[in-house]
């Protein structure tokens, strides 16, 4: 869980100099954002996260509870709450993002092992690659033993490497972009195509690979076929958090027992709703709003 600071540049940013911008502050963190949107979609969500015993941590707790997220099993620490800062172009596209967080290292096997009773109650577990490779490996084993579906968000290229090290293991769905996908399959397979890397992921236990291709839409692979799904035509204001919203949309649809391809369409709809708003969270998100963004 992070505090997001977004610098909206008034002109295309130039490196190595000062750029005029407008600053906005919002609640963030990949899993916290996903939990926030699922709560707005009336899902019962328990968030296991780490926050500092500081004003930022208290603020994140307050905002999360107001959204409907249950925080009965969070871990509070004397370490400062993490911050994510992004610089975005006037068209809303990310120019650069940086994160300063010492709390993510504290969400480890020991913390999760103390929360096994609540983990066992889950219909579905969602994790991201802010967890270490060792913790991801533990979670993969736990979910397989308990027969709990697991979804993993890769987060970034450096973080996706952690999942590469943690596999094999049963994963219901993962959603890398093309750059993140390229870390899978090992350095010896440097010339693998995207299709070959997706095949490799299936061989390691991943059921659905959902590769995002930004404005080109995305590709869903179930191990037998790969289907391209077009993106919605929208006016982008801010790209922050769109991938997190997509996961939430997919999970909401999955919990309604909808087919995987329809789940992707709901994921696209959730992402579109965020792209047309400012910040990583859209507090008016609802099932009705999702359906308005569905591509026929």
For the segment 231-290, what is each residue's pLDDT rounded down to a tens digit?
A: 777 777 767 778 899 999 999 999 999 999 999 999 999 999 988 887 778 889 999 999
As to burial, measured by CB atoms within 10 angstroms (0-12 exposed, 13-18 middle, 19+ buried), residue 104 is buried
- For residue 60, the model assigns a pLDDT of 95
| C-alpha span between 175 and 220 (Å, rounded) | 9
Task: Tell me the C-alpha to C-alpha distance, in Å, between residue 195 and each of 128, 191, 198, 221.
Answer: 23, 11, 5, 9
Q: Find tokens 């591509």 and name the residue.
A: 295
pLDDT at 188: 57
Strands lying side by side in the sheet with 2-9: 21-28, 2-9, 82-88, 94-100
**Could you give the angle at the alpha carbon of 50 between the alpha carbons of 46 and 53, nearest 5°?**
120
* Per-residue model confidence as pLDDT tens for the chain (296 residues): 999 999 999 999 999 999 999 998 989 899 999 999 999 999 999 999 999 999 999 999 999 999 999 999 999 999 999 999 999 999 888 899 898 888 878 899 999 999 999 999 999 999 999 999 999 999 999 999 999 999 999 999 999 999 999 999 999 999 999 899 999 986 656 668 888 899 999 999 999 999 987 677 789 999 999 898 887 777 777 677 788 999 999 999 999 999 999 999 999 999 999 888 877 788 899 999 999 988 76
What are the structure tokens assigned to 71, written together? 């925080």
| Positive or negative: CA dihedral 213, 176, 280, 89 | negative
Burial (CB count within 10 angstroms: exposed 0-12, middle 13-18, buried 19+), residue 108: middle
Q: In three state form, how does the secondary structure of the chain look?
A: CEEEEEEEECCCCCCCCCCCEEEEEEEECHHHHHHHHHHHCCCCCECCCEEECCHHHHHHHHHHHHHCCECCCCEEECCCCEEEEEEECCCCCEEEEEEECCCHHHCCHHHHHCCHHHHHCCCCEEEECCCCHHHHHHHHHHHHHHCCCEEEECCCHHHHHHHHHHCCCCEEEECCEHHHHCCCCCHHHCCCCHHHHHHHHHHCCEEEEEEECHHHCEEEECCCCEEEECCCCCCCCCCCCHHHHHHHHHHHHHHCCCCHHHHHHHHHHHHHHHHCCCCCCCCCCCHHHHHHHCCC
Treating both helix axes as pointing N-terminal to C-terminal, what angle do 260-275 and 242-255 enclose, rounded to 10 degrees? Answer: 140
Q: Would you state the pLDDT for residue 187?
A: 64
Question: Please, what is the end-to-end C-alpha distance for the chain in angstroms?
Answer: 35
Asked if 209 contacts 180 with a C-beta cutoff of 8 angstroms, the reply is no
pLDDT at 233: 77
pLDDT tens-digit map of 92-114: 888 998 988 888 788 999 999 99
Point out which residues pair with 100 in neighbouring strands: 83
What confidence score (pLDDT) does residue 189 get? 63
Q: Are 84 and 110 in contact, with CB atoms under 8 Å apart?
A: no
Query: From CA 159, how far away is CA 127, in angstroms rounded?
Result: 12
């Amino acid at each position: 869980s992070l505090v997001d600071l977004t610098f909206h540049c008034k002109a295309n940013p130039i490196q190595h100099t000062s750029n005029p911008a407008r600053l906005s502050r919002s609640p963030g963190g990949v899993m916290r954002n996903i939990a926030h949107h699922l709560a707005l979609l009336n899902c019962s969500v328990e968030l296991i996260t780490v926050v500092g015993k500081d004003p930022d941590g208290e603020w994140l707790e307050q905002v999360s509870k107001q959204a409907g997220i249950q925080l009965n099993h969070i871990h509070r620490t004397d370490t400062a709450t993490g911050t994510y800062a992004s610089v975005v172009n006037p068209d809303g596209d990310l120019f650069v993002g940086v994160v300063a967080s010492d709390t993510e290292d504290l969400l480890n096997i020991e913390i999760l092992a103390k929360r096994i009773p609540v983990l066992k109650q889950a219909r579905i577990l969602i994790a991201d690659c802010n967890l270490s490779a060792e913790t991801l490996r533990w979670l993969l084993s736990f979910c397989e033993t308990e027969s709990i579906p697991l979804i993993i968000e890769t987060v970034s290229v450096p973080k996706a490497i952690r999942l590469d090290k943690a596999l094999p293991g049963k994963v219901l769905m993962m959603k890398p972009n093309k750059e993140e996908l390229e870390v899978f399959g090992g350095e010896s397979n440097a010339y693998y195509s995207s299709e070959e890397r997706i095949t490799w992921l299936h061989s390691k236990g991943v059921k659905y690979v959902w590769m995002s291709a930004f404005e080109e839409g995305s590709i869903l692979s179930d191990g037998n076929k790969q289907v391209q799904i077009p993106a919605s035509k929208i006016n982008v204001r801010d790209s922050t958090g769109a991938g997190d919203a997509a996961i939430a949309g997919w999970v909401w649809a999955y919990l309604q027992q909808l087919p995987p391809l329809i789940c992707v369409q709901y994921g696209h709809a959730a992402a579109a709703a965020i792209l047309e708003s400012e910040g990583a969270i859209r507090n008016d998100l609802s099932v009705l709003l999702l359906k308005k963004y569905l591509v026929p």
